[in-house]
Amino acid sequence: MWIGHAVSALTAKPFAPSVPLSVLALAAALPDALSFVFSLLGFESFDIDEDLVKRGCYPYVADYPYSHSLVGMAASGVALAVGYLFLSGRKVTLKDEAVLLAVTLGHFFIQPPSHRPNVDLSPALGNTITPGNMGASLYDHPLALFITECLLLLGAIGVYTTFSPLATRVGYKREGYMARLWAVVAYFAAQEAHFMFSPALPPETRWIHAPLFLFKVAVNSWLLGKLETS
């Protein structure tokens, strides 16, 4: 999933209204962000596989046991929650910390429907594409995955706009700014279409794809944050 991670952040916002939406978005995409950082550092990798290019979207064979195992996500979620506690400069409740951890861990539980069988619990178990791992392979059906994720995004927007306090929605609630909400939705839908249907070019993943994806994570987190700030 790609924009599916924004779904987690938007849905979590009513449960942690004092946590910036941009931070929740970062928590949701944190395993991806770490995998790209680890790829740049040489700890993990993801490489284009020509067979997967023919099968559907996300044509990468990924070796990311630290960032994408359940144990790894728990560790990164705890690290983010602790970092937010000490660096936010505001009162942070136990509920806020729990929501941040849950959003990060949620990344693991939304992987099995879309990923090929490379989802596992622990770094020690590995996460190459093998029949013993979890993954329903919706990546091999990009149109179905695109429709599913766009519908989930619209549902999450509904949850956020209905149940989040008004003070957390001033970015688009100010007079004349309603277009901002739908511009963000349109941007995410366009990004999802690019992710699903465009070829993965050029073939260099470590020094081109990883920084590009990392930049997208940062932009997406910032954009979601603009829904609640001026």
Alpha-carbon gap, residue 63 to 86, rounded angstroms: 32
Predicted confidence (pLDDT) per residue in 176-224, tens digit: 899 999 999 999 999 999 999 988 778 899 999 999 999 999 999 999 9
At 93, the amino acid letter reads T
Q: Convert the pLDDT of each residue in 51-99 to its tens digit.
A: 888 888 888 888 888 998 889 999 999 999 999 999 998 899 999 999 9
Nearest residue to 32 via CA among 10, 8, 56: 8
Output the pLDDT for position 122: 55
Q: Is 199 exposed, middle or buried (0-12, 13-18, 19+ CB in 10 A)?
A: exposed
Contact 210, 39 (CB under 8 A): yes
Q: Record the tokens describing residue 205, joined without a space.
A: 């993943």
- Residue 126: name the closest of 82, 178, 62, 170 by CA: 62
Closest CA to 77 of 58, 45, 102: 102
> 119 near 31, Cβ under 8 Å?
no
